[in-house]
Structure 1
Amino acid sequence: MEERDAILFEAYLSGTLSAPEREELEQRLERDTGFRDAFGMFRETRGYLEAAYEKEAETEAFRETVRQASGAYFGNKNGQYSLHSPARRRIKPWQIAVAATVLVLLGIFFSPRIAAPSYGDYAHYPQISLAVRGDGDAVLQQAEQAFNTGDYAGAAASFERLPEEERSQPGIMLYHAISLVELEEYKRADGMFETLFTGASAFKYDAMWYGGLSLLKQDRKEACKTLLGQIPESSGHFAESRELLGKL
């Protein structure tokens, strides 16, 4: 969004434009999709600003805050701006400050949305409970405790100590694979995920999701998109998989 557009939007919403200027802006909103989208974001965030600071809006402290935001954004410490058109000359410094503050807020709220997604944004694992208490399986309990405390090296080592028959159980294999991803042992981890999501266990789509995250961590985005695209709507990972796909 251009700074001058933001000031123009503020003048429009504040009712300080003349009738011809208002008509010209409205015509541009009709024909210019990008301009219209920018106006929508500005108006929405301006509304948030008004609601959030409704009680403080009359205080000098609040005025000083937005003046500083204006100066920081437009490169003028006094919050002033050189306005050349008749419409802009009628805009007060206070209105420029509001426009600047909205731009700052838009930067805060919308910049994260356009940032490239990362593995760390989605790698949130549930606390696991694999061992049956009192069954004497100390190794599995150690693996569980290590995983739940983020000690993935310890978890992987404990999983490795389990008998082959136990390691091949879908639930154990899933969290073993996740531990290996955290250790960047991708080849082994991806092989385990593939075994699970090509099978018919209850962990099929969990493996598809975490397998996709493994591919994301490896920066294999196309493979990640292909795998995540196979997660069905019935899966608990459907919503987050579609969110991630939308960012890739």
Structure 2
Amino acid sequence: MQEEVYIVFEQYLQNEMTVEEKLNFENQIQNDTDLKESFELYKEANQFLKIKFSNETVDFKNNLSLISKQYSSKEANLGKTKVIPINSKWFAIAATIVIFISIWFFMQNGTPEYNDYKEHEKAYFTERSEGNNTLKEAEEAFNAKDYQKAIGFFEKIDQKDFGGEEHLFYAIALIETNQFDKAEVILQLIKEGNSIYKEKAIWYLGLSNLKQKKYDEAKIILETLSDEAEDYDKAQEIIKKL
């Protein structure tokens, strides 16, 4: 399929056409079976890219396989060998399948992203927050993912009311708001101490560097994570991709 046809498909899907252009395109695909089939496949492939690593990935690959078999079967049913011109619908469909399967493999082996691995636990400062409204507000803001607001509350709290857990969640909020230097100072202190959050501090130091695209530093830090750590498997996955 010619490149400009893909561009038209994308313009239609992204709602970048004028009303007249949209009507013309819709009329064209209704009257051109080949074009309609190619467009439907293109839409399916686009949807696949959006769902990325979800369970639907397997279903999509199976659908592509089924489509290929169906088209092969149709050709076989003609009862004779047929020379297919390069601009035919079959070439277009095959080309589309190849393009998106290639993208799938690229995505599977692509550079890991911070957003793919940030799964923060809920803050739960029950004991320490009793009688401390500011700490309770910090907890609620963090759990609502209002990280800037949470930081404001954390910074109003007296340090004597801070434990390892509070420091960890404060550091996470700082990472989320791209205040990396402040976050890493806190995480280093937790890492070098005897806190039960030591492994979590290492994990988030790695994620902080990953978010900054400091891939070598992230890899070095994550390699120090114990194989008994909760996040060990995820860390190994990141290391393998870096």
**Runs of at least 4 residues of structure 1 off by over 6 A?**
44-47
Confirm or deny that 1:210 pairs with 2:204: yes
What is the Cα deviation at residue 107 of structure 1? 2.8
Kindly tell me: are residues 50 and 112 of structure 1, through their superposed partners in 2, closer, same or farther at Cα, counting changes over 3 Å? closer
Q: Which runs of 5+ in 2 are unaligned?
A: 1-57, 76-84
Q: Is this contact kept in 2: 1:116–1:247, CA < 8 A? A: yes
Q: Is this contact kept in 2: 1:147–1:155, CA < 8 A? A: yes
- Matched-pair identity in %: 26
What is the Cα deviation at residue 115 of structure 1? 2.5
Q: Is this contact kept in 2: 1:131–1:137, CA < 8 A? A: no
Confirm or deny that 1:117 pairs with 2:116: no
State the secondary structure of the residue aligned to 2:126: coil
Q: Is this contact kept in 2: 1:119–1:216, CA < 8 A? A: yes
What is the Cα deviation at residue 140 of structure 1? 1.1
Cα distance in 2 for partners of 1:45, 1:124 equals 26
Residues 36-62 of structure 1: CA distance to partner in whole angstroms, max 9, x if unpaired?
A: xxxxxxxx99983477669x948x9x9
Cα distance in 2 for partners of 1:52, 1:104 equals 17
State the secondary structure of the residue aligned to 1:116: coil
Confirm or deny that 1:48 pairs with 2:62: yes
Kindly tell me: are residues 144 and 45 of structure 1, through their superposed partners in 2, closer, same or farther at Cα, counting changes over 3 Å? closer
Q: Let me know the Cα RMSD of the aligned residues.
A: 3.4
Q: 1:165 aligns with which of 135, 160, 169?
A: 160
Kindly tell me: are residues 133 and 197 of structure 1, through their superposed partners in 2, closer, same or farther at Cα, counting changes over 3 Å? closer
What is the Cα deviation at residue 124 of structure 1? 2.2
Kindly tell me: are residues 127 and 52 of structure 1, through their superposed partners in 2, closer, same or farther at Cα, counting changes over 3 Å? farther
Kindly tell me: are residues 48 and 197 of structure 1, through their superposed partners in 2, closer, same or farther at Cα, counting changes over 3 Å? same
Q: 1:230 aligns with which of 198, 215, 224?
A: 224
Cα distance in 2 for partners of 1:153, 1:128 equals 15
Residue of structure 2 equivalent to 1:181 = 175
Cα distance in 1 for partners of 2:205, 2:215 equals 12
Residue of structure 1 equivalent to 2:140 = 145
Q: Is this contact kept in 2: 1:153–1:179, CA < 8 A? A: yes
Comparing 184-193 with 123-132, greater Cα deviation is found at 123-132
Report the TM-score, using the length of structure 1 for normalisation: 0.61
Residue of structure 2 equivalent to 1:106 = 101
Report the TM-score, using the length of structure 2 for normalisation: 0.62
Q: 2:124 aligns with which of 125, 129, 138?
A: 129
What is the Cα deviation at residue 163 of structure 1? 1.1
